[in-house]
Amino acid sequence: MAAEPKYLTGDKVALNEFIDKFDTFLFDCDGVLWSGDHVYEGVPETLQLLRSKGWVLTAPLTFTPHSPLTGKRTVFVTNNSTKSRGEYAKKLNGLDIPSDVEDVFGSAYSSAVYISRILKLPAGKNKVFVIGEAGVEKELASEGVPFIGGTDENFRRDITPADFQGIADGSLLDPEVGIVLCGLDFHINYLKLAHGLHYLRRGAIFLATNIDSTLPLHHDLFLGAGSVMVPLANASGQKPLELGKPSQAMMDAIEGKFQLDRSKTCMIGDRLNTDIKFGIEGKLGGTLHVQTGVDKKEDWQKKDAIAVPSFYVDKLSDLRHAA
Amino acid sequence: MAAEPKYLTGDKVALNEFIDKFDTFLFDCDGVLWSGDHVYEGVPETLQLLRSKGWVLTAPLTFTPHSPLTGKRTVFVTNNSTKSRGEYAKKLNGLDIPSDVEDVFGSAYSSAVYISRILKLPAGKNKVFVIGEAGVEKELASEGVPFIGGTDENFRRDITPADFQGIADGSLLDPEVGIVLCGLDFHINYLKLAHGLHYLRRGAIFLATNIDSTLPLHHDLFLGAGSVMVPLANASGQKPLELGKPSQAMMDAIEGKFQLDRSKTCMIGDRLNTDIKFGIEGKLGGTLHVQTGVDKKEDWQKKDAIAVPSFYVDKLSDLRHAA
């Protein structure tokens, strides 16, 4: 059984011990830093504080965010596939969290890297049918992966009798498609789902950027990528390989890219089944649960909790109260 | 363990015994009578034969299809909610199966009857948010049930930032909605799903016309009502009460309406998890499985088969070869 999570809010000694224990913090974004476009109070200052907390005592007073020699490293690990890493960096900067594209690791990028560097399907069979928004397309393009679907207006319309016929007989399907990749798609419709289903029925590999069932927005929950993908799983009887948190494919990619020491890395998140599970299964030095998102402490206090963090705070900015 | 299903095709004696055993045949339609708009060869003649097979030996040579005194009674029990009973009768007539609205029992009708006669929510809290096509709307209207959504063009569009805000704060939600009813919807989109989810999160009752995961069409499978509904189940964590086959709410309604003797009634269908299960759980005198639809005999020959029929034929028209 896991040890009781340590509550850090308001406990200066514990907060300092917590921060000293880690070199690198992996942050979930939605529900931790912000909800939708509303950044939580004190978050930029908290990030700045962590980045200025050098683990080398002689750290200079000025710092660059990415150098481990000058402060804690902060990486934003998001399952939101609607934005590319570049767009995420822009959002972070706009919310007073200075960042660049290399600080971000998103599920769309994780998926593109998996397809281009791990799957490596042969040309002529390596096209991706995308259910998702522009973020997925941009990351696929950046990895040189061919794709159809996505934001193409030809797929943003009602299905017609001719579509049913052409999908069933295959005349409307692209024979080069070998992968169906499903992310969050605000333009989901029957036409896209019918194409996705039929590529799967013809043997395409089924991937999901992530399988979050819900999406926090406006202090409420909307449908997440997992709820956009689930019609395909239900109709095909197949489960996708998921490439966002808590998939360890994503953790391996992060470790490889950032050369991090897992024992000195902490995952910070609001969801037990993605963030906290991701950190635990990745054997990180710790996991920190915040109460500002989807899951609350009541959820890990349950007997059958899906994952139990090692630390928790009320909100991320409580970390500011370290010395 | 269930007895080995009896194979009837080509066995004249067994076919006659089978037909003599029953007064009433409940027919699934898609995959039994037709696939899409293609009626299977010999089906109209088979229906005519059954209807002419009197269980009263003095039956007149001319018959009306609905009179149990002149032949076997045939009832079309369909989970397809996109058409109303009237539209189904029209389709049957167009395919040379003379029928009227009273010969049809559909999941949209079953849902409307459940809402109006069983649930009976108070006025001001009894409006239905519909995910589905015109068939659902027509049956709700025929039972005097108020509804929104459905085929309304205002819901057949992309979701906007203002929608997210208004759904989250409730200003775009109708306070009279007390039920979310989900059927097959070829115009499913994020906007409808977001509305459905938020009515559920505010306590609306979750109903499904049926939960078939797939829809047979053009000798292939598309997404069924269950795959259109499943995003709501996945995002809300709730399961709908289903009102189509194999729900016994539907069987009870059919029994009440047709005053049938269950022991002399046979369910004929292609799907184990809907049709055959429906007949077995309804304690009918028998179930007949045809090989022209979704499930094949290999499916009930499996060790963990979801339901095993009492009879099977290759195709419905094999019944014609009775004496």
The per-residue pLDDT for range A6-24, each reduced to its tens digit, is 999 999 999 999 999 999 9
- Put simply, the chain B residues between 48 and 87 with a CB less than 8 A from any chain A CB are none
The minimal CB distance from B234 to the residues A168, A187, A213 is found for A213
Distance from CA of B70 to the nearest CA of A (A): 40
Mean pLDDT, residues B250-275: 92
pLDDT for the residue A36: 77
CA quadruple A90, A96, A97, A98: dihedral positive or negative? positive
Structure tokens at B140: 């709700």
Q: Do A213 and B230 touch (CB under 8 A)?
A: no
Closest residue in B to A162 (Cα–Cα): B218
How far is it, in rounded angstroms, from Cα B94 to Cα B295? Answer: 27
Q: For residues A24 and A261, give the distance between their C-alpha atoms in angstroms, rounded to a whole number.
A: 8
pLDDT of residue A54: 60
Chain segment A85-136, per-residue pLDDT in tens:
999 999 999 999 999 999 999 999 999 999 998 899 999 999 999 999 999 9
Kindly state whether A195 is in contact with chain B, defined as any CB-CB distance less than 8 angstroms: no
Residue A86: CB partners within 8 Å, gap ≥ 6? A101, A138
Percent of chain B with pLDDT over 90: 84
A12 in Cβ contact with A323 (< 8 Å): yes
Q: Give the distance from residue B237's alpha carbon to the nearest chain A alpha carbon, in angstroms.
A: 9
pLDDT of B286 > 70? The answer is yes
CB contact under 8 A, B235 and A218: no
What is the helix, strand, coil percentage profile of chain A, to 5?
40, 20, 40
Say what the pLDDT of residue A66 is: 46
- B260's tokens: 């049938």
- DSSP E strands in A157-283: the ranges are 177-182, 205-208, 214-217, 220-223, 241-242, 265-269
Tens-digit pLDDT profile for residues A160-186? 999 999 999 999 999 999 999 999 999
Q: Kindly state whether A33 is in contact with chain B, defined as any CB-CB distance less than 8 angstroms.
A: no
Inter-chain contact A228–B224, Cβ cutoff 8 Å? no
Smallest Cα distance from B243 to chain A, Å: 19
Selecting among B28, B185, B212, B318, the annotated active-site residue is B28
Res. A259 pLDDT band, cuts 50 70 90: confident
Structure tokens at B257: 């309406």
| Structure-token pair, residue A7 | 């509550």
Question: Is residue A11 annotated as involved in ligand binding?
Answer: no
Residues found in chain B = 323
Specify the pLDDT at position A63: 43
Nearest to A217 among B168, B187, B213 (CB): B168
What is the pLDDT at residue B65? 46
d(CA B153, CA A34): 34
- For residue range B107-166, list pLDDT tens digits in order: 999 999 999 988 999 999 999 999 999 999 999 999 999 999 999 999 999 999 999 999
Instruction: Confirm if B84 and B183 have CB atoms less than 8 A apart.
Output: no
Q: What is the pLDDT of residue A117?
A: 87
Query: Which segment of A44-48, A310-314, B60-64, B242-246 scores lowest on mean pLDDT?
Result: B60-64
CA distance B184 to B111: 13
Binding residues of B for Mg(2+): 28, 30, 270
Task: Pull the structure tokens for residue B13.
Answer: 């004696």
| Residue B67: pLDDT over 80 | no
Integer Cα distance of A151 and A148 in angstroms = 9
Cβ neighbours, 10 Å, residue B314: 14
pLDDT at residue A202 is higher than 90: yes
Cβ of residue A149 closer than 8 Å to a chain B Cβ: no
CA B216 vs CA A59, A168, B257: distances in Å: 67, 10, 28
- Report how far residue B199's alpha carbon sits from residue B175's, in angstroms, rounded to the nearest whole number: 9
Distances (CA, A) of B18 to B51, B285, B288: 14, 10, 10
Domains by residue range for chain B, with CATH: 6-79+246-321 (3.40.50.1000), 121-242 (3.40.50.1000)
Note if A252 is an active site residue.
no
The residue ranking higher by pLDDT, B265 or B61, is B265
A245 alpha carbon, distance to own chain's centre: 6
B214's tokens: 């797939």
